[in-house]
Amino acid sequence: MKLLPFSASFSLKSFLLRMISMALCLSLLFCCCACSGESRPENADQTITFHLGEDPSSLDPQIADSFASRVAVEALYEGLVRLDENGDVYPGAAESWDVSTDGRQYTFHLRKDAQWSKSIVTEDGETSVSSTPSPLTADDFVFAWRRAVDPTTKSPSASSFSLIKNASSIISGSLSPDQLGVSATDDHTLVVTLESPTEDFLRLTATTAFMPCQEDFFLWTSGRYGLEAKYVCGNGPFAFSNSYAWDHEEAMTLRRSSSYHGENEPLPASLKLYVSTKAADISNPVTAVSEETVDLASLPSSLLDSAKEEELQVYTLSMDAVWGLGFNTQDSLMKNVDIRKLFVQTLPRENLLENLPANATAANDIIPSTFLWNGESYRKQAGSNFYLKQDDSIVNTLPALLKKLKLDTMPSITVLGVTGLQQMLNQMLITWNGRMGNYFNLETMSEDEMNKRIADGDYQAAVYALRPDGNTPIDILSLFASDSTPALLQSSEYDRLLEAADAGDSLSALVDAETWLNQQAIFYPLYYTDRYYVANPTLTGVVIHSADMGIDFIQAGKLS
């Protein structure tokens, strides 16, 4: 492991805890060769191909909210720090940083040779874009972060900034964005003030929402920022090869950026990111990788054995998603906590868990054991089994509950689920219909379709996956902040608990927030799933981040 060139005013023990807590990503291969000088390793200067699965909705870092968007944004932009194959931070756009004694203030020192891939030119009152690089400054981070917390931006990642002073008040609309605890003292110095010390801040600055935005270029796009190749100006290791390099029907082609000056020189000459099966058929990812249609692809668990038989690389992200029964708390019926408890506590848990999907693990909690707090498993410190326990007698309360709700009978209820979970879902509905009457229906669909339904608030109840942006307890707990999907919860009580938990220095505050979700029957955990990728046996140096945060290709290569 390389030494990280930064100074900080905290103890060695504290430093080690910080670094351990950031171990959230896996590498496709523990081979991360640094390139320098004129010598190039044999796995360099090649084209690396990957199937995104869908066309990114936006390449605006402050807006990017899908896996496909984050993969592309991580290639095109760079935050203050990066994450290596072990999940440790190392310098990105910032070559070093200092931390105050109380842990609340970070001072980042930007690389003086850091550049944007384009520049804005104004002549005779006309503004245009030049391919000539322009300097990256601390103001670019200030502008980006203020955009992210500004309620008018509607950033899906705004809550990630709540660690920073005044962010929560800005997000709620009670303060203006210029009150955010971030400032540029000069072109190359960025000062960030936190609400309280936290273990997670440095890791967060590596995520896409914290990447910079060049204000002049942003304004020039007139609302089209990140929607086409010509409306993207990045500071990352790769850039679009031309204005037409993003074909929304087929693929995007990125080249190694000549304006990038970072800790490591990018190894690939180019990246080919397919956005549809029209350009690259990966209906069977094992076949696609074997035939070198792509170098890397997502792998369904059903094809694990096939991938191993073909002697391909298979990599696992453990407990990457938490699946469970969740409710739309804005639905006229599901907003009632007693109704939610009734449905949860009549579930035959043992029978449901007999029908787990392949390669799934029973989930006893919303927050998995792989999630860390102060460098150690949160579950080991917090305890387990907080979910509401089965109580068949609760069905006896139904008549009085319906009367309280001024209902003669139970309304028709539709539960959404993904195709392939029928056995578990059918067992759930058979139980409910048998105990409460035939009012429950099942609608199955692809996970993408279900996620869209949930995002639109077009559901009553669903068995869906939580895929947080990191591997700390707050990353999952934040998914239930007011008005956030999937639950659309509007609870000032929970928001207060979340704010206390977000302070980062209290285990009991985290437990209180998690316990509240369980006791209110907001989300009933059922099982955890791993995520798999299949890769060309010669592929090296790719870093896959957990929790759909993206993939880093900067040191990717193929051995001959």
29-84: pLDDT as tens digits: 333 333 344 567 888 999 999 998 889 989 999 999 888 999 999 999 999 999 99
**12-279+536-558 and 319-530, same CATH topology:** no
Give yes or no for a contact between 298 and 151, defined as CB atoms under 8 angstroms apart: no
Residue 125 three-state SS: coil
d(CA 305, CA 314): 10
Q: What was the pLDDT predicted at 501?
A: 84
pLDDT band at 449 (very low <50, low <70, confident <90, very high): confident
> Is residue 63 within 8 Å of 126, Cβ to Cβ?
no
Average pLDDT, the chain: 88
Question: What residues are paired with 452 via a beta bridge?
Answer: none
Domain ranges of the chain: 12-279+536-558, 319-530
Instruction: Return the SS3 of 345.
Output: helix
Report residue 556's pLDDT band, with 50, 70 and 90 as the boundaries: very high
Higher-scoring residue by pLDDT: 446, 440:
440
Task: Give the whole-angstrom CA distance, residue 328 versus residue 35.
Answer: 50
Helix (H, G, I), strand (E, B) or coil at 78: coil
Start-to-end CA distance of the chain, whole Å, equals 26
- Amino acid, res. 125: G
The pLDDT of residue 456: 87
Give the burial class of 5: count Cβ atoms within 10 A of its Cβ; 0-12 exposed, 13-18 middle, 19 or more buried. exposed
- What is the pLDDT confidence band of residue 13, given thresholds at 50, 70 and 90? very low
Model confidence at 483, pLDDT cuts 50, 70, 90, reads low
**CATH number of this structure's domain 319-530, picked from the four choices 3.30.720.110, 1.10.8.50, 3.90.420.10, 3.10.105.10:** 3.10.105.10
Q: Angle at Cα 381 formed by Cα 378 and Cα 385, nearest 5°?
A: 80
> Please, which residues have CB within 8 angstroms of residue 290's CB and are 6 or more apart in sequence?
310, 312
Helix (H, G, I), strand (E, B) or coil at 394: helix
Lowest-pLDDT choice from 134-148, 322-336, 500-514: 500-514
Q: Is the pLDDT reported for residue 420 higher than 90?
A: no
In 142-291, at which residue ranges do the beta strands (DSSP E only) sit?
182-186, 189-193, 238-240, 251-256, 270-274
How many H helices and E strands in the chain? 17, 28
Report long-range pairs for 487-496 (Cβ below 8 Å, ≥24 apart). 487/326, 487/327, 487/328, 487/329, 487/522, 487/523, 488/328, 488/329, 488/330, 488/457, 489/329, 489/522, 490/329, 490/330, 491/520, 494/520
Residue 133 sits at φ, ψ, to 5 deg, of: -60, 150
pLDDT at 280: 83
Question: Is residue 272 a contact partner of residue 251, using CB atoms and an 8 Å limit?
Answer: yes
pLDDT of residue 294: 95
pTM for the predicted model, two decimal places: 0.76
pLDDT at site 189: 98
For the 12-279+536-558 domain, the top CATH level (class) is alpha beta
Q: Model confidence over 173-185: pLDDT tens digits?
A: 999 999 999 999 9
pLDDT tens, residue by residue, 320-345: 789 999 999 999 999 999 999 999 99
pLDDT on residue 503 = 66
Is 521 within 8 Å of 540 (Cβ atoms)?
A: no
Percent of the chain past pLDDT 70, that is, above it, reads: 91
Give me the mean pLDDT over the 351-372 stretch: 90
